[in-house]
Amino acid sequence: MDIEQKQNEFIDHFVKRASSLKGSALASVVTEATSHPSLFAFSEILAVPDVVELEGTEHSVYLDVLRLFAYGTWSDYTSNSGRLPELGSDQALKLKQLTVLTLAETNKVLPYDQLMQELDVTNVRELEDFLINECMYAGIVRGKLDQLQRCFEVQFAAGRDLKPEQLGSMIQTLSNWLTTSDNLSVSIQEKIKWADNMSGLDKKHRKEVEERVEDVKKSLSSKVNRNKTSDSLLKYWDILVDVPYIMAEVTNCKQADIDIRGHEEVYSEPGGVMDYEEDRSRPKRRRHPIS
């Protein structure tokens, strides 16, 4: 069973008891409630009509004690101890626990020196034992003790009763939070719509791109097929164009071969043209002068 559920059960118990008593009979209820080890909220008991009627009576001191435990601290008690009844050990322990909760409301790092002063503790060992055994084990705070920096780092602290003058500020804070939440919700919805719209556009664009890619593939495939056919025709046409030229060249080559063989036959016969080298090697005939 969690601490909040226990709180509700104890509060209902003491509210029912206070509602059935009047005057001095309420003193025992107040003492028992402020001494209970698991009760840390008292505003519901303060709101009981029979308790409110203690104001201005000879028993109003018990109303003051209840208010002290609902909103006050240990230093508040020491400052007004002359007009308040002496607290029992359990009540003193409870008020010091509530003092830690009050300090943790405004600061998440509590120096040891401040804690020792507010709790009327004389040494660090006593302070750390109190924080561990009476606060963290009780579940009202969670945190880390930093002996090097001499401080208590608060990670969680249970809430205390709100003073009547704090209600307006709390209502305003909650109203601002609600407005901010509504604006955030609207913004989130707009972002969701924008994301859905962009997703639809992206899918549409992707489909268009895929269709264009397929069209390009088909177009390229068609061009490749046409190019293959055109290349074959061009090669065939080139062959046809080159045939007359080749035939002419063959004819010319044959004619040239015939001409060459004809010249060889003419110039190889006896009495033909004498070779120049052969002519030079013969002795020349001397002519005699005519007498």
Summarize pLDDT for 67-79 with one digit per residue, the tens.
999 999 999 999 9
Report whether 54 contacts 66 (CB < 8 A): no
Taking each helix axis from N to C end, the angle separating 89-106 and 60-71, rounded to the nearest 10 degrees, works out to: 40
Sign of CA dihedral 202, 203, 204, 206: positive
Residue where a domain terminates, one of 118, 140, 162: 162
- Any domain includes 283: no
Q: What is the pLDDT of residue 222?
A: 77
Strand order in the sheet with 109-111: 109-111, 151-157, 141-146
My answer on whether 155 and 99 are in the same domain is yes
Q: Say yes or no: 44 and 8 in one domain.
A: yes
Shared domain check, 172 and 156: no
Structural domain count, the chain: 3
Summarize pLDDT for 180-212 with one digit per residue, the tens: 999 999 999 989 989 988 888 888 888 888 888
Tell me, yes or no, whether 97 lies in a domain: yes
> Domain limits at 203?
164-226
Report the distance separating Cα 21 and Cα 26, nearest Å: 6
Please indicate, yes or no, whether residues 117 and 180 belong to a single structural domain of this protein: no
The pLDDT tens digits of the residues spanning 217-254 come to 778 777 767 666 555 555 554 554 444 555 555 455 55
Same-domain check for residues 29 and 4: yes
Is 271 a member of any domain?
no
Question: Does any domain span residue 248?
Answer: no
Q: Are residues 145 and 158 in the same domain?
A: yes
pTM across the whole model: 0.64
Q: Domain end: 114, 143, 162, which one?
A: 162
CATH number for the domain that contains residue 136: 1.10.10
